[in-house]
Amino acid sequence: MNQRQIEVFHAVMLHHTASRAAEVLFMSQPAVSKTIQQLERSLGFALFERSKGRMTPTPEGQLLHEEVARSFVGLIQLRQAAARIRDFGSGKLRIASLSALSTNIVPAALKGFQQRHPNVTITYQTRLSSEVRDLVASGQFDLGLAADEIDTSGVDAVPYCRYKAVIALPPGHPFTRKRQIKPSDLHGVSFIALSPEDTTRQEADAILRANKAEPRVVLTTPFSSNVCAMVLAGLGCGLVNPVTSAGYVAQGLVLKPFSADVHFRSLMLFPSNRKQSRIVRDCVQEFRKIVQPGGRYESA
């Protein structure tokens, strides 16, 4: 018994005659009949009763075809799965992001993606930017969003979004009466700072030094969302990403423009030396749509 004999047997069962099976398989009718006879000899039992040119399945033939049909269904499903993998990837999407984009940009983009691909399973994690980079570099994740201070060796990195920093103030702070905050205003003021390795903090520190302004740093954190929470609690003011702070404004956080040119910048990361599947490309398109001009979270 071989694969070709099973295919011929399946065709005869589906089309009921050797002549029609021959047409479908691009074979001659005698070749179909001969193949069926060879299969019967190898099996040791008859598959058809032959009478007046017709081939009627025997009970044994019917039983065998039930097994064959299940195998063909499995083969069809396998071919369909292969086509989906070719066009879309595995049907799974793994994304990691820095905290600053996790409560707004990521959910908005993934909602649009899920509407396009409702059957794709999404795994999502919020991590430090350096950890996001490691997950993508190792191939464990398909797409990463990270701050621009990371080491980009081992990944393909492209610019994603950029937002001008603003000053967050607790309710009732004297600075809430100002139209904007200047670097010199921050001298001696209680301040919630980002981590020293953060490029946004480094930009701000350079500007503060140039203006001979030295805030009184009372707390340091790597997350802009934590800065918002600490400011809202009254520990001081801080430099924050306006996208991250949206939920805190509803709780009373006050945002004021910062006169200095300081930005939060993020990167999109991909495993190097790996062609992006259609699923990944479609997801990237949704992330781009969110921050492009006119998008829900338009970047600067």
Q: What's the pLDDT tens digit per position in 254-291?
A: 999 999 999 999 999 999 988 888 899 999 999 999 99
Q: What is the pLDDT of residues 3-37, one digit of tens each?
A: 888 888 888 888 888 888 888 888 888 998 898 89
CATH number for the domain harbouring residue 29: 1.10.10.10
Handedness of CA 95, 97, 99, 105 (dihedral sign): negative
99 Cβ neighbours under 8 A, 6+ residues apart:
126, 222, 223, 224, 225, 244
* Average pLDDT of span 98-125: 92
Same domain, 102 and 143: yes
Same domain, 96 and 244: no
Residue 35 structural domain = 3-87
Same domain, 69 and 101: no
* Average pLDDT of span 129-140: 94
Domain count of the chain?
A: 3
Residue 193 lies in a domain: yes
Same domain, 147 and 273: yes
Same domain, 130 and 277: yes
Residue 245 lies in a domain: yes
- pLDDT at 53 (0 to 100): 67
Q: Give the lowest-confidence range in 48-57, 163-172, 178-187, 189-198.
A: 48-57
- pLDDT at 84 (0 to 100): 58
CATH number for the domain harbouring residue 194: 3.40.190.10
Q: pLDDT higher for 86 or 266? A: 266
Same domain, 72 and 11: yes
Same domain, 141 and 198: no
Q: Is the pLDDT of residue 95 over 60?
A: yes
CA distance 169 to 197: 23
- pLDDT at 275 (0 to 100): 85
Residue 300 lies in a domain: no
Q: Is the pLDDT of residue 80 over 70?
A: no
